[in-house]
Structure 1
């Protein structure tokens, strides 16, 4: 498969790149839900090859096509559910779409509105490639009820829209876990490179949890993550970059920003306290870092969130 390294931060950017309608995609919240039959009017359709920086669930009630993740190709058929996480190359092909729902979300949305320790409860979110599952009619109906409620909420204007959606996402993830992943352990899935990637993601998650909770005050370097797996730092860097399309430094900085944004929601914490929790030596260093990555100061971001 010929691969072009097209990276997209969200679904809005992907659709914009492919010249697709943007009417049903919200570029601002870190969460989208829409029905693909509203977007893909001219079929058949084949997407560009791309790497997304977001999670996605595809609920296919009635459609046919193909979905390619890296070098694995899966048939799309009615009552199947797809899950993909950030990093892998993918291409989708649609031949017919009658009723199909797509949900996408980023890590910040998960942390802020689903659960602060979401990977403890839903470890399957750490995997790289999950084969699609075909559900019974009753199973698919139960999941359909949930995603239709989520879609209805997304179309509304509730003051607590994201929190309501987050609660419904918990129910949806629990159903998916029950149907797909009751005994799933991401550490034992996939080849050696996949295990290295998943272990790195787990180590990253645990370390930032310790930072935020005050169990440690020392940030980990790339060398430290390599030593945890008894790997040479260059080899770890190469595997992470090749498998996910992002260098380790990008994973660490994105994880730092996710935690910073979550902590800034807590008005009981000062900017200095948040800076300390994330192991910045000076508050000014944290402010400059945050502004460089978010194009807005921590103070301004906090004001936006608590309007």
Structure 2
């Protein structure tokens, strides 16, 4: 399965020190210069294909390749790249002349009570987008000024510096939302393997269900196709070729598997289990479970 890169994993890969106490109340934020990271031991700079557990905004100079499910974006010069925890991607430099800056932050750093917005509601972080933007020389200079200002503020002792840093991050986000995304090319080679792997990653990362307040957000084949920025028919074809089953069948089987675990290993009532698995009505869950297993949830639990 594709890996999940945490904040701690990032610092280990980057051979950088995780700041003490930075995540306690304000959320996590930090900024780095690209040329100073990822090459201290092996000379490698690529970021592996994984789902980051944090947001990342990169100002990149150099030739690079950004790979998504069935799309590839070739970056020839300067580019601005936004990464969200929801969508895995692979970043692969084509040369050693990689410069620029990037910042990483967690959702709680820009939580609604701090900035008045929901981060995932912004267009730049919506599933279905490919947020990589080719930059002109003027745009590169304007953005670099903002990133350099972030870098300077990180080393300052100003008591309200994180409020200022939030404003600077939002300025970069709004700057990016006004740009035109770079054109992507269809990546035929290995695209099916990538789509299948990413689908399984998106499916499995919703489990296990650990609380009655937790709820599945991806329930249908269309939900997954939208997240992967591909047509649902394309996703069905990939799943059929890899498993012999439809996307809906694969999703249903995984939900049934989790339902069985919750019914046997928790004392949650069936209404709670129904809710966590994404069913709006208990009757819908009961009918679904009986269709898949020949048992009602009550009968299976007993």
TM-score of the superposition, structure 1-length normalised?
A: 0.52
- What is the match of residue 81 of structure 1? 80
- What is the match of residue 37 of structure 1? 35
Match of 1:22 among 16, 23, 26: 16
- What displacement does 1:24 show? 7.7
- What is the match of residue 177 of structure 1? 177
Which has the larger helix fraction?
Answer: 1
- What displacement does 1:112 show? 5.7
Distance 1:111 1:237 in 2: 34
Partner SS, residue 157 of structure 2: coil
Q: Supply the RMSD in Å over aligned alpha carbons.
A: 3.9
- What is the match of residue 115 of structure 1? 115
Aligned length: 195
Q: Which whole-Å deviations, capped at 9, do the CAs of 1:32-88 have from their partners, x for residues lacking one?
A: 21011011335454443321122211111x222323233433223322111121133
- Whether the 8 Å contact between 1:57 and 1:103 is mirrored in structure 2 is yes
Which has more radius of gyration?
2
Distance 1:130 1:46 in 2: 19
Distance 1:155 1:236 in 2: 52
- What displacement does 1:100 show? 1.6
Distance 1:72 1:39 in 2: 27
Identify if the C-alpha distance between structure 1 residues 31 and 180 changes in structure 2 by more than 3 Å, giving closer, same or farther. farther
- Whether the 8 Å contact between 1:56 and 1:85 is mirrored in structure 2 is yes
- What is the match of residue 157 of structure 2? 157
Partner SS, residue 91 of structure 1: strand
Distance 1:31 1:81 in 2: 18
- What is the match of residue 262 of structure 2? none
Distance 1:165 1:176 in 2: 17
Partner SS, residue 92 of structure 1: strand
Distance 2:248 2:19 in 1: 38
Partner SS, residue 164 of structure 2: helix
Unmatched 5+ residue regions in structure 1? 182-192, 198-218, 242-246, 248-307
Distance 1:125 1:236 in 2: 29
Distance 1:175 1:236 in 2: 42
User: Greater RCO between the two (CA within 8 Å, min separation 6)?
Assistant: 2
Matches within 5 A, 1:259-278: none
- What displacement does 1:237 show? 10
Partner SS, residue 179 of structure 1: coil
Unmatched 5+ residue regions in structure 2? 182-194, 200-212, 224-246, 259-302
Matches within 5 A, 1:91-106: 91-94=90-93, 95-106=95-106
- What is the match of residue 63 of structure 2? 64
Q: Which whole-Å deviations, capped at 9, do the CAs of 1:226-284 have from their partners, x for residues lacking one?
A: 69x99xxx959949x9xxxxx9xxxxxxxxxxxxxxxxxxxxxxxxxxxxxxxxxxxxx
- What is the match of residue 6 of structure 2? 9
Distance 1:49 1:220 in 2: 27
TM-score of the superposition, structure 2-length normalised?
A: 0.53
Partner SS, residue 38 of structure 2: coil
- What displacement does 1:159 show? 1.4
- Whether the 8 Å contact between 2:110 and 2:119 is mirrored in structure 1 is no
Identify if the C-alpha distance between structure 1 residues 7 and 128 changes in structure 2 by more than 3 Å, giving closer, same or farther. farther
Distance 1:76 1:23 in 2: 30
- What is the match of residue 201 of structure 1? none
